């Protein structure tokens, strides 16, 4: 895309240079002031196309330490300068045309074949160059190429005016070329005004038309987005930089929040060509949050591990109880301070009439070292488990028993099968009772973890 822009700009330079030389030669040889004026017009256009090429080259550079958003606005600055040249040229043409129309003696113009030929060639070249520049400018959102296309378009109409003037002069109407040039100058001013307004809008970070609504609609359709809170967009060349803030439920885990953020960014890139979105997620409380959700959010935000959270509505107040796991090496004072801080946070969230009770227990050791117990020990534990399960008559088929020896004692893991129609509460009580019975039978066992599966 960048090479296409540079190639079109270079071709424009060559076309401007060729037209300038041809018009100057014919203007001097025929004494035609109109053609000489066109040569001056083309000379200024040559300078403008060189500016365009330089701007396109600079704008293609990637972002650096000084230009975090790239160099795309260099094109807008170039377009603004070229717009100023358009107004300058229009002013000169209007002044000269007015003077010619006011003069009584008029200006002698030699309407020779060479004059008609160079103007005809100029019209053809300007037509194809303006179309090529406009097409590339639209495809690449290049303000500099758009300004250059407007220059060649103005050259085309200016050449048409000169051609009409030459025809008028040929038939004895000395004022025809001046009148046509005056009309074309006004049209150039109108086109320059439109281009200048778009360029100033870019330099002042005016949002692209309809961008806010398009961005809001695309983001709101992404599952997990509660609402769109802030939208900011600005165009720099063919890139649209978007700053977007969306609200998400505060109960969601971080990986889910990150997935929503990525989905919003992908939707914007699909919806808008050249979009470079930065999406910020703001956690918010939803109306459908349960008391359990609110308690778990408070604990998670304080990086605390809690479980067995129960909430009871006692009509005049709420009662919340939970188990808080802390590092077993902490002193009771430090652990109690953590529990107090958690209780205060829950009271602040749920109201002053809530009753909070916290049971402190040591956090299970992480990354503990150990080794597999000998086969005979595993067989002995398996036999005890099967015997205890048979006594309870709920748990059957104890299998996949594993025993690991650690510095603090043995850790036993086992699988078992139960009636699939039993409730989770009943199964949990049965497995918990089996775990307690095994620990009571063998004091060297520190922890037992049972996994229940439905019978087939």
CATH of residue 252's domain is: 3.30.70.1350
Same domain, 415 and 301: no
Same domain, 277 and 295: no
Please identify, among 229, 264, 284, the residue that sits at the C-terminal boundary of a domain.
Answer: 284
Same domain, 136 and 47: yes
For 65-124, the pLDDT digits (tens) are 666 565 566 666 766 777 787 788 778 778 877 776 776 555 555 555 666 777 777 778
Average pLDDT value for the chain: 80
Which of 5-9, 118-122, 126-130, 239-243 is predicted most confidently?
239-243
- The whole-number average pLDDT for the span 36-62 is 64
Same domain, 77 and 157: yes
Same domain, 256 and 118: no
The answer to which of 184-193, 277-286, 412-421 has the lowest mean pLDDT is: 184-193
Same domain, 316 and 218: no
For 349-364, the pLDDT digits (tens) are 888 888 999 999 887 6
Same domain, 172 and 34: yes
Please identify, among 284, 303, 327, the residue that sits at the C-terminal boundary of a domain.
Answer: 284
Same domain, 376 and 278: no
Same domain, 219 and 199: no
Structural domain count of the chain = 4
pLDDT-based confidence at residue 380 (cuts at 50, 70, 90): very high
pLDDT-based confidence at residue 194 (cuts at 50, 70, 90): confident
Per-residue pLDDT, 52: 62
Please identify, among 284, 319, 345, the residue that sits at the C-terminal boundary of a domain.
Answer: 284
- The whole-number average pLDDT for the span 33-62 is 64
Same domain, 374 and 427: yes
The share of the chain scoring above pLDDT 90, in percent, equals 33
Q: Supply the CATH number for residue 121's domain.
A: 1.20.1510.10
Position 257 pLDDT exceeds 90:
yes
- The whole-number average pLDDT for the span 304-323 is 88
Same domain, 230 and 340: no
Same domain, 439 and 334: no
Position 151 pLDDT exceeds 50:
yes
For residue 113, the enclosing domain spans 2-203
- The whole-number average pLDDT for the span 232-251 is 86
Cα separation, 15 vs 435, in Å, equals 90
pTM higher than 0.75, yes or no?
Answer: no
pLDDT-based confidence at residue 182 (cuts at 50, 70, 90): confident
The answer to which of 1-10, 323-332, 338-347, 395-404 has the lowest mean pLDDT is: 1-10
Per-residue pLDDT, 1: 47
The share of the chain scoring above pLDDT 70, in percent, equals 70
pLDDT-based confidence at residue 403 (cuts at 50, 70, 90): very high
Per-residue pLDDT, 193: 81
């Amino acid at each position: 895309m960048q090479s296409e822009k540079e190639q079109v700009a270079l071709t424009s330079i060559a076309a401007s240079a060729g037209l300038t030389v041809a018009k100057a030669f014919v203007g001097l040889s025929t004494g035609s002031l109109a053609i000489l004026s066109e040569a001056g017009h083309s000379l200024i256009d040559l300078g403008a196309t060189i500016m365009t090429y330089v701007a396109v080259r600079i704008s293609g550079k990637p972002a650096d330490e000084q230009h975090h958003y790239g160099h795309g606005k260099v094109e807008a600055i170039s377009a603004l300068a070229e717009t100023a040249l358009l107004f300058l040229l229009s002013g000169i043409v209007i002044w000269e045309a007015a003077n010619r129309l006011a003069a009584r003696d008029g200006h002698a113009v030699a309407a020779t074949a060479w004059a008609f030929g160079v103007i005809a060639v100029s019209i053809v070249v300007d037509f194809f160059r303006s179309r090529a520049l406009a097409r590339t400018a639209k495809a690449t959102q290049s303000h500099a190429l758009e300004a250059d296309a407007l220059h060649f378009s103005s050259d085309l109409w200016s050449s048409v005016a000169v051609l009409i003037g030459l025809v008028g002069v040929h038939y004895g109407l000395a004022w025809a070329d001046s009148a046509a040039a005056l009309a074309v100058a006004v049209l150039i001013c109108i086109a320059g005004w439109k281009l200048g307004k778009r360029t100033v809008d870019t330099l002042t970070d005016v949002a692209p038309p309809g961008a806010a609504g398009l961005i809001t609609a695309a983001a709101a359709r992404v599952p997990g987005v509660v609402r769109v809170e802030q939208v900011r967009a600005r165009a720099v060349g063919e890139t649209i930089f978007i700053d977007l803030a969306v609200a998400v439920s505060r109960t969601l885990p971080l990986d889910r929040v990150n997935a929503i953020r990525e989905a919003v960014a992908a939707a914007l890139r699909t919806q808008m060509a050249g979009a470079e979105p930065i999406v910020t997620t703001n956690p918010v409380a939803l109306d459908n949050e349960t008391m359990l959700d609110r308690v778990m959010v408070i604990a998670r935000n304080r990086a605390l591990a809690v479980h067995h959270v129960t909430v009871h509505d006692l009509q005049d107040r709420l009662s919340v109880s939970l188990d808080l796991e802390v590092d077993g090496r902490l002193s009771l004072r430090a652990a109690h301070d953590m529990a107090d801080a958690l209780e205060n946070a829950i009271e602040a969230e749920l109201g002053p009439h809530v009753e909070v009770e916290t049971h402190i227990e040591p956090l299970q050791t992480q990354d503990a070292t150990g080794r597999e117990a000998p086969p005979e020990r595993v067989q002995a534990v398996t036999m005890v488990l099967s015997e205890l399960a048979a006594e309870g008559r709920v748990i059957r088929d104890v299998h996949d028993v594993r025993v690991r020896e650690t510095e603090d004692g043995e850790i036993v893991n086992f699988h078992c099968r139960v009636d699939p129609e039993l409730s989770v509460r009943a199964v949990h009580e049965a497995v918990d009772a089996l775990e307690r019975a095994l620990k009571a039978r063998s004091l060297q066992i520190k922890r037992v973890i049972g996994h229940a599966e439905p019978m087939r």
